Amino acid sequence: MSRRLTRPTGTGKIAAEETMTLDPAAPVREDVPPVIGPAHALGTVLAELFEPAVHRVAVTEPPGGPLDAAAEAYGLRRYRIPPTPQGRLDVEQLLRLPVKGILLAADPLHGLDRLLDRFPGPVIVLAGPGAAPAPHERLVLLRQPPGGAARTGGA
């Protein structure tokens, strides 16, 4: 298949036209949705919601976990908030922080509903294949496939 592609210059004018031969697209299987890995999805979400070196986030996992590592790699200042001694989210502590978003590990999620009702920014949850929290307008749920390995599909 041939397709004519154009490249704009920075001035709004078209610099050149070229013809390129493209391989046919792979067939899309309707029964298998494309899945990207949680690290790629998390990076995409962070890039969409936050500005590096400007925004701060709360992280509820130990240092070096996937959420903490992604936030550090993206250049976000992080506040680490461990669970309470009872193993629940420390909602009151999370609400006191000067952060734009909250990154939660899958456990503990006790208190998530209360946090979502009171926190004005995005709450990103990296969860395993178990039960999912109820949908909410500020909740971004990233699911890990069973076994932690992600299929790649689509592009």
CATH class of 38-147: alpha beta
What integer is the mean pLDDT of 8-33?
Answer: 52
Residue type, 105: A
Of the candidates 145, 127, 123, which has an alpha carbon nearest to the alpha carbon of residue 50?
A: 123
Confidence of residue 124 (pLDDT cuts 50, 70, 90): very high
Which tops the pLDDT comparison, 75 or 36? 75
Least confident interval from 18-27, 36-45, 59-68, 118-127 = 18-27
Question: What are the extents of the domains in the chain?
Answer: 38-147
Asked if residues 103 and 59 have their Cβ atoms less than 8 Å apart, the reply is: yes
Please give the model's pTM, rounded to 2 decimal places: 0.70
Quick one: average pLDDT of 86-92? 89
Name the residue with higher pLDDT: 141 or 6.
141
